Structure 1
Amino acid sequence: MMPAVQAMRWDIQGLRAVAVTAVVLDHAAMPGVGGGYVGVDVFFVVSGFLITGQLVRRLDETGRVGFADFYARRARRILPASLAVLALTALGVFLFVPPTLRAQAMADAAAVALYAPNYVFAARGTDYLANTTPSVFQHYWSLGVEEQFYLIWPALLAAGWLLLRRRRGAVAGALGLFAALSFAAGLVLTQTDQPWAFFALWPRAWELATGGVLALAAPAVRRVLRPRVATPLGWAGLGGIVSACARYGADTAFPGSAALLPVLATAAVIAAGEVPAHGGVGSLLSLRPVVFVGTISYSLYLVHWPLEQLPQAAVGYERPLPLAVTLALAALAVPIAWLLHRLVEHRVRHAAVLTAARPRRSLLAALAGSGVLAAASAIAVLAAADPVLHSGRDVAEQPPTVPVHATPFVPANLKPTLAAAPDDNPSLYADGCELDFSASRPKPCSFGPAGAPTVVLWGDSAAAQWAPGLQKAVESSGDRLVTQTKSGCASTLVVHVRAGAPYPSCDAWRANVLAQLTAHPPAVIVLADYANEELPKGSSAEKVWAAGLEDTIARLPAQSRVLLLADSPDFGTSPIDCLSQHLDDATACARPAAEALSSPGRVAAFRAATTTRARLIDLTPYFCADSCPAIVGDSLVYRDSHHLTASYARKLAAPLAARLAPYLP
């Protein structure tokens, strides 16, 4: 016996429209919609509600989930459009994406075909909310979460149905406990490892489960909820979604507790729709234009991201597309999504050759399509793995000079090569001297003769970047260098956050380092920090940095000389990708000095050098004149958007030694 067909919930189609519109406008950088990424959370709740409702109706009527039929319907619903966009986007990668990013992009494509892109992004440490060179396949993370969820959810529901003797309330309670455990995992991971909190299934499952529990509770909702309550509840729910879109942004600690607002607000809208009420939110969500967008929402979600990202990759990530262009691309995504919906999504989903056959035909077709694209993507990874990344011309080796000597092309003898540059780190990383985000106990590393006067380098990864040159400079004077560095944790006593969340290990580490410096004062303390470290939402960056520097310097031992090492230029995005697109015109990848040197921490350091006992060491002339080139002589200066290559830092030993000399014992 087949389950009864549920009446169409047009308000839920409208809710899908709200969700996809929020996501699309956020990705188009529309002002006022910085939290539009919560549209995915809305989708999760809606999906959990609808799919669980289908499963429960089948359990009610047949006593079975019908796993083969369920997964066959999922495959017909999800995969045709998904795989079509995947294949077309993969072609776009080889046409528009910088050569340095193609292999990684095709590895992402393979992960999409294998239904696991979210774990690839989590393992890579992707910051979804602040990624300047995002993968063109990044939006597939949410599909990965959904499909992984539906591998376990039907089984949990069926087990609960059997063990709890079809008692909806008891099953809802048991699955509610599952959701609570998932929510708790999200709270913990948001504080400790935000990429895993954002992308992984276990901290996100509660959002889909919330919709599922609501589907189980729907009969009770219809009995208990009165129209006079349902009407304001629905409008309040829609207001909550809009509020999250407007109030949240890249500096929000997400998902964590912040995800409660869009998830519960969506549940409120769905619950309100269970009760017919005059003037309810459904009157807005059921309007024909809104329902149209909801109907094509899945296809629109799939096409809008590559449509925004491929043009951006083509012009270069260092030149953000104007708002008018991103909004035009968002608008263009609508007719393209409608075509995808009509010609692929709808047609294949209802194709008689699949629907009239046994479920295994749909499942085999899904596995075959995914397997072919996964294999093709893997081959493409190999094809993109070794691109030509130089102009074919050499340039003479020379030391850094003032004024800086910019090389106008990518030399064949570039050191390091563009391919090797991201891994051209100081030895502090390999030696475990550069502490990770979780460490709070200092690990000082020493270079030079024991018993010699000590120079301490203290700061974050922007301090560690100077170590190759500073070590040579200090040792050449017969002194000893000691490093105290930790990723994302400035020596400046400012309140730090990571992905919008508190960073307690940073506070503990700084306090411990300060205690060590006080107990054993070195001859010289060099403070060096990334001048754009993340601060709490709403902070006045320049004031915070200025006050923090003054506080830090005041707490350092009086017998130690204090030096401030001005931060290197900040390009905003890695010049490596730009250079791979401009092998014969490296000047296209230079950054105007006024932009690259405007960080609030730099301004505060220059001010502190005049208002405190600290003195400034500024090597900016070795990086910039009117503009800041990415290649100087035969040296690549940067390994990412703002960190120096170890190779170039090593070449700065002589200038550093000259600047340090007046302050060394």
Structure 2
Amino acid sequence: MTAVGETTSAAPAARKSGFRPDVQGLRAIAVAFVVLYHSGVSWLSGGFVGVDVFFVISGFLITTHLLESLESTGRIAFGSFYAKRARRILPASLLVGILTVLVAWVWMPPLLMKEVARGAVAAALYVPNMLFAVEGTDYLAETSPSVFQHYWSLGIEEQFYLFWPAVLALGFWLCRRSERRLLLLAAALVLASFVLCVSLMNVSQPWVFFSLPTRAWELGAGALAAFLMRSGARWLRAPRTGVLSWVGLGLLLVVGLVYTETTPFPGYTAALPVLATVLLIIGGAAPGRLNANGLLSRRPFQFVGAISYSLYLVHWPLQVIPQVAVGQDDPLPLWLRLGLGAVSVPLAWLLFRFVERPVISWPTLRSRSQLWTGAAALATSAVLIATAGGSYYLTSATGETATDQAAGEETQLEKDPAGTGYVPENLTPALEEAEADNPTIYTDDCHRSQDSTDSSGCQVGENEDAPVVFLFGDSHAASWYPALAELAEQGRIRLDTNTKSSCPSVEVPLQLEGVPYTECDTWRDGVIDRINSEQPDLVLLANYGAVRPDLRSGGDFASRWQDGTASTIEAIDGPTVDVLADVPDQGETSAVCLSNHLEDTAQCAVDRAEAFDPAVTEAERAAAESAGARYVDLTPYLCNDRMCPPIIGNVLVYRDGHHLTTRFSRLMAEPLGEEIEASLE
């Protein structure tokens, strides 16, 4: 690396940027990975790494241009740089954002429009990645993603573009105009970001996934490739260096085929797709025919690469909105998802042809002060915010109860409930309040968070003569707290709560966000030790018995669950143990579905045969019986012989897809109390 003003033996092509067909072809591979992955192509289980490829490419191209500016003028024209970036990125993204809000308003359940509006505002303010980090979004999960979730990567790039030019300009000045020293500074920053990324994976995977400080190293890797390409090193000009592009291409394909949603990501595993992309960039610049340029320069790759940005923007809403419209419990068939992915190609071409490409060179903006570009960007962002706010307001104004029915009957709990066929005026909790209808165990800090190992429990009830009941399990156990608290307030029991998020009392080793959930194991062992020490009258186990993709090792889930349940029961020495059957799984959030079917709630009821996994249910029952525990099944109060209704009387049963509302849980106090008394006889 040479300082500005020094002579160099590097060929001009090594120091000057220009159109590279191989990089365009690499864009095509990246966006194809993402689109096929989101379209449900199971064999491309690691297709999500396409975004990482985009990061490296962006870092390489941007840094190349910035270094050229520093070399030729000794400075960076910040106004011109940001104006060009705004014309390149914002018109297409903001237009797609506006159209997405409008289509969502027409097709998506009204209760989801608040989430849509929140995502749109975050996108308009260029911080969608921060929104998803705060919400703890799992990008690789398959449940109800936001229609703006794909904007997270735009947020990363926009924030990188905001800071990186200043970092290079300041560093160039501090390094006395030496690219060699500037390279060392950039490398140190990239290394720091990578270390932060890897070290925080055990703390918060969503923040690592969505935040700039933990993702900047990927763009920085592209930046280091830009420094390297300008170094004039002889080996870069050797034809055999082109083989690196084939190595990179092969490595990228392996990652796409081998990585899955259970792969800890980003962390150290992101280094492989990043390295593969760097190798492709370096090898593609080598002379001769040993590189992969002959493949990547072919017309199909060039076409898809040209529209890759627009394709990335439009493909995601096409996948998400139809799925949400029909309901998450009715997955779209693969052929339809692939068809939606295919439809996104011509739509992306239209967006590229009539929006993305024309605005980049729009004379009205290019010939005027950069302030005009900034003003246009702010105005368009304001339109997106206004559209989001207006759609949410109009949706809220339509109401959340059936129009031709008034109040529902006050709930009288009984077996084989028929359910209420409409959303009544006196529904409790209201649909818009369902999500937040958590038991007070959460606000009282008695329900342990995922990072807690506190096994001390919380006590409710003042009748010293009442039997002591330990509630032990995950959030499904917590949803039974209102019923048990009611019994404690009546003096029938003394309650000791021991619940923890995503941590069943069943002894199975789990992963949480891609890393071993050791806090769960520690907490579970601590609770069992306290049970054996304090010897309560009854231990009530309650857990979410759904098939878990986060088990640390494979095997049949039902068998693992049976063994784990039996192991926990056998570890409890002395007290009586009851295993409480799990509640029906609705498959999707009841309130969301009901907001779209106010007059016909049967559309949101789940068939009883589909509400439970028979293998897991029988495994849990068998474990209880074999280990000397009692299996308590209150399903008859939640389901009739055909279905499990979402509304019984005037009470909403579920706050999401598989947790009871506080109100309905409290109604279950009497039948649960009868079962407890029977166990203690």
TM-score relative to the length of structure 2 = 0.93
Q: Is the 8 A contact 1:491 1:528 kept in 2?
A: yes
State the SS of the aligned residue for 1:422: coil
Distance 1:64 1:175 in 2: 17
Match of 1:502 among 513, 516, 525: 516
Q: Which residue of 2 aligns with 1:619?
A: 634
Contact 2:471–2:496 (Cα < 8 Å) also in 1: yes
**Paired residue type of 2:448:** L
Do the aligned partners of 1:523 and 1:561 also contact (CA within 8 Å) in 2? Answer: yes
Matching of residues 220-259 of structure 1 within 5 Å: 220=231, 222-225=233-236, 227=238, 230-259=241-270
Query: Distance between the aligned counterparts of 1:268 and 1:238, measured in 2?
Result: 8
Matched, 1:531 2:545: yes
Tell me the distance in 1 between the aligned counterparts of 2:173 and 2:314: 41
- Aligned residue for 1:438, secondary structure, equals coil
Q: CA deviation at 1:344?
A: 0.4
Distance of 2:392 and 2:122 partners within structure 1? 12
**Farther-moved stretch of structure 1 (602-611 vs 579-588):** 602-611
Counterpart contact for 2:243–2:290, Cα < 8 Å:
no
- How much does 1:605 deviate? 1.2
Which structure 2 residues correspond to residues 81-160 of structure 1 after superposition, within 5 A?
A: 81-160=92-171
Q: Determine whether 1:425 maps to 2:441.
A: no
Structure-2 separation of matches of 1:252 and 1:642:
26
AA in 2 matched with 1:166: R
The answer (yes or no) to whether the contact 1:446–1:482 under 8 Å persists in 2 is yes
The equivalent residue for 2:669 is 653
1:583 matched residue in structure 2: 598
Distance 2:228 2:149 in 1: 34
> Are residues 1:487 and 2:498 paired?
no
1:470 to 481, 484, 495: 484
The aligned counterpart of 2:419 is 406
The 1:96/1:548 distance shift into structure 2, 3 A limit, reads: same
1:341 alignment partner, one of 333, 338, 352 = 352
Letter in 2 for 1:41: D
Deviations 1:97-150 (Å, cap 9, x if unpaired)? 211011221121111111111111111222221152211111111101100111
Match for 1:633 among 645, 649, 671? 649
- Residue 580 of structure 2 corresponds to residue 565 of structure 1: yes
Per the alignment, in what secondary structure is the counterpart of residue 431 of structure 2? coil
Summarize the Cα distance change of 1:561–1:413 in structure 2 as closer, same or farther, 3 Å threshold.
same
Separation of aligned partners in 1, 2:364 and 2:553: 55
Distance 1:172 1:604, change over 3 A: farther
Which whole-Å deviations, capped at 9, do the CAs of 1:204-223 have from their partners, x for residues lacking one?
11111111111111134752
Residue 595 of structure 1: aligned partner = 610
Q: 336-345 vs 493-502, which deviates more?
A: 493-502
- Of the candidates 504, 510, 513, which is equivalent to residue 527 of structure 2? 513
Q: Please, which runs of 5 or more residues in structure 2 have no aligned partner?
A: 1-12
1:323 Cα deviation (Å)? 1.1
Residue 444 of structure 1: how far off its partner (Å)? 1.1
Cα deviation, residue 450, structure 1: 5.5
**Structure 1 residues 39, 294: closer, same or farther in 2, change over 3 A?**
same
2:161 alignment partner AA:
Y
Secondary structure of the 2:418 match is coil
Which sits farther off after the overlay, 133-142 or 270-279? Answer: 270-279
Q: CA deviation at 1:319?
A: 1.9
Q: How does 1:54-453 map to 2 (within 5 A)?
A: 54-220=65-231, 222-225=233-236, 227=238, 230-392=241-403, 393=405, 394-449=407-462, 451=464, 452-453=466-467
**CA contact 1:549–1:605 (8 Å) conserved in 2:** yes
Aligned length: 662
Range 396-405 or range 220-229, more displaced: 220-229
Change (3 A) 1:195 1:131: farther
Cα distance, 1:649 vs structure 2: 0.9
Contact conserved, 1:409 with 1:584, CA < 8 A, in 2? yes
Q: Give 2:241's aligned amino acid.
A: A
Does the Cα contact within 8 Å between 2:116 and 2:388 map onto a contact in 1? no
**What secondary structure does 2:400 align onto?**
coil
Q: Point out the more displaced range, 335-344 or 368-377.
A: 368-377
- CA displacement 1:249-295 (0-9 Å, x = unmatched): 22222211221121111111112112124242222211110111000
State whether structure 2 residue 44 is matched by structure 1 residue 33.
yes
Q: Cα offset for 1:475?
A: 5.5
Give the root-mean-square deviation of aligned CA atoms: 2.0
> 2:638–2:644: 8 Å Cα contact kept in structure 1?
yes
**Contact between 2:463 and 2:491, CA under 8 Å: does it hold in 1?**
no
8 Å CA contact 1:234–1:273 kept in 2: the answer is yes
Superposition deviation, residue 345 in structure 1: 0.3
Structure 2 counterpart of 1:330, one-letter code: G
Compare 458-467 and 620-629 and name the one that shifted more.
Answer: 620-629
- Structure 1, gaps ≥5 residues long: none
Please give the secondary structure, in 2, of the residue aligned with 1:202. helix
Between the aligned partners of 2:398 and 2:498, the Cα distance in structure 1 is 38
In the alignment, the residues of structure 1 paired with residue 349 and residue 499 of structure 2 have an alpha-carbon distance, to the nearest angstrom, of 52
SS for the counterpart of 2:198 is helix
From the superposition, tell whether residues 539 and 144 of structure 1 become closer, same or farther in structure 2 (CA, over 3 Å).
farther
User: Residue 299 of structure 1: CA displacement?
Assistant: 0.4
Alpha-carbon distance change, 296 to 660 in structure 1, aligned in 2, over 3 angstroms: same
Which amino acid letter does the alignment assign opposite residue 571 of structure 2? R
Q: Which amino acid aligns with 1:159?
A: L
Partner SS for 1:638:
coil
